[in-house]
Amino acid sequence: MTVIGGQWGDEGKGKIVDWLASRADMVARFQGGHNAGHTLVVGNETYKLSLLPSGIVRGTLSVIGNGVVLDPWALKAEIEKLTAQGLSITPESLQIADTCPLILPIHRDLDALREDASGKGKIGTTRRGIGPAYEDKVGRRAIRVCDLAHLDSLDPQLDRLLAHHDALRAGFGEPPIDREALKEQLREIADFVLQFAKPVWITVNEARARGKRILFEGAQGVLLDVDHGTYPFVTSSNTIAGTAAAGTGLGPSAAGFVLGIVKAYTTRVGSGPFPTELHDDIGQRLGERGREFGTVTGRKRRCGWFDAVLVRQSCAVAGVTGIAFTKLDVLDGLDEIRICTGYKLGGRTLGHLPAHAAEQAAVEPVYETIEGWQQSTAGARSWAQLPAQAIKYIRRVEELIHCPVALVSTSPEREDTILVRDPFSD
């Protein structure tokens, strides 16, 4: 099965994947980089993951697929941090595709230079080099994990890479890249990364042939997909479920049951359109109660009402089978709750978000208002523990997004989850 975010990321994928990982034999990341962030709360311990699959906390075999761009220094730092928290991360529990492109210091530099020079055109990048690394991948000049075992023959690839980057750096008034310094950095990190390097397409295909349960984990959300998101305020990869196959080396039927993670309200980090964004006390309340700060960047998230139009669109383009509804408890105590059911644009009523950025920024939400609930939903583990109005809200969301709810999460705690439909049984 495949788990993806159904909004702009930060929907609570980490907890859901962690909860599902106890029933999986393997967890595989298939796109993105260390710009993604998952927070897992296990008892009194909180684990913050950026690059590693969420299954690593469970001891489930975790795989980083070829569709991921890998910062080897960020990987080392993350593993060292989790090891200090008591986790054991070894080549037996973690495999990295030997075809993963590397994020290099020059990618981080270029990311920051571009963003700083963009003025009003900033897109809110995390400045971690994700975009430039993907550009080098499709430009056929990337350094990959497998190249770390052949550093003595790297010069022809470096010629192509540096010819491109030195020209860009010159345009920003920056000096050329120090080739020998870069090679030395790669030599120093090579052995650490290579211990985890495998042809993971073999691992996942063999596991599938044996009937093992593979959990594919996406990063970011559908609305940040480079093709289907709010372009240009998107990430640099495809975040939809179909990427699970291309990003790990399996056939197109690999995705299986597609679980879309969706918050009971909407958040967004960084720039870009956000039709239901709230700038009032309720928006402030959602942010405070939901602890809406980015796992990776620490940036404050923008908050707003649930947008059924966007989630319906996400479910359609990503082939979502069922949704996991998270952070329901954040809505506790509100007298009224609003749901966006459509948009107004220049006298027209729309049932989808238009493609052009100017029109996306100009749409006005059409709201439906329902009664809230005063009882607490925090920690509920069954329908019987939910207030009637909370159940009514969930059912209305299902109707509007044309997709059923499979799971409901009522707190960051692993076990505070209501199972409505078992994704692994489909």
CA-wise closest residue to 286 among 249, 338, 211:
338
Residue 166 is labelled as binding a ligand: no
Residue 120 is labelled as binding a ligand: no
- Which residue among 71, 98, 111, 137 is the active-site one? 137
Residue 220 is labelled as binding a ligand: yes
Residue 288 is labelled as binding a ligand: no
| One-letter-per-residue 3-state SS of the chain | CEEEECCCCCCCHHHHHHHHHCCCCEEEECCECCCCCEEEEECCEEEEECCCCHHHHCCCEEEECCCECECHHHHHHHHHHHHHCCCCCCCCCEEEECCCEECCHHHHHHHHHHHHHCHHHCCCCCCCCHHHHHHHHHCCCCCEHHHHHHHHHCHHHHHHHHHHHHHHHHHCCCCCCCHHHHHHHHHHHHHHHHCCEECHHHHHHHHHHCCCCEEEECCCCHHHCCCCCCCCCCCCCCCCCCHHHHCCCCCCCCCCCEEEEEECCEEECCCCCCCCECCCHHHHHHHHHCCCECCCCCCECEEECEEHHHHHHHHHHHCCCEEEEECHHHHCCCCEEEEEEEEEECCEEECCCCCCHHHHHHCEEEEEEEECCCCCCCCCCCHHHCCHHHHHHHHHHHHHHCCCEEEEECCCECCCEEECCCHHHC
Residue 301 is labelled as binding a ligand: yes
Residue 5 is labelled as binding a ligand: no
- Per the annotation, the verdict on 10 as an active-site residue is yes
Residue 76 is labelled as binding a ligand: no
Residue 139 is labelled as binding a ligand: no
Residue 39 is labelled as binding a ligand: yes
Residue 88 is labelled as binding a ligand: no
Residue 226 is labelled as binding a ligand: no
Residue 410 is labelled as binding a ligand: yes
Residue 409 is labelled as binding a ligand: yes
- Which residue among 34, 38, 228, 263 is the active-site one? 38
Residue 160 is labelled as binding a ligand: no
Residue 328 is labelled as binding a ligand: yes
Residue 327 is labelled as binding a ligand: yes
Residue 38 is labelled as binding a ligand: yes
User: Known binding site for IMP: residues?
Assistant: 10-13, 35-38, 126, 140, 220, 235, 299
User: Known binding site for GTP: residues?
Assistant: 9-15, 37-39, 301, 327-329, 409-411
User: Known binding site: residues?
Assistant: 9-15, 35-39, 126, 140, 220, 235, 295-301, 327-329, 409-411
Residue positions annotated with a catalytic role: 10, 38, 137
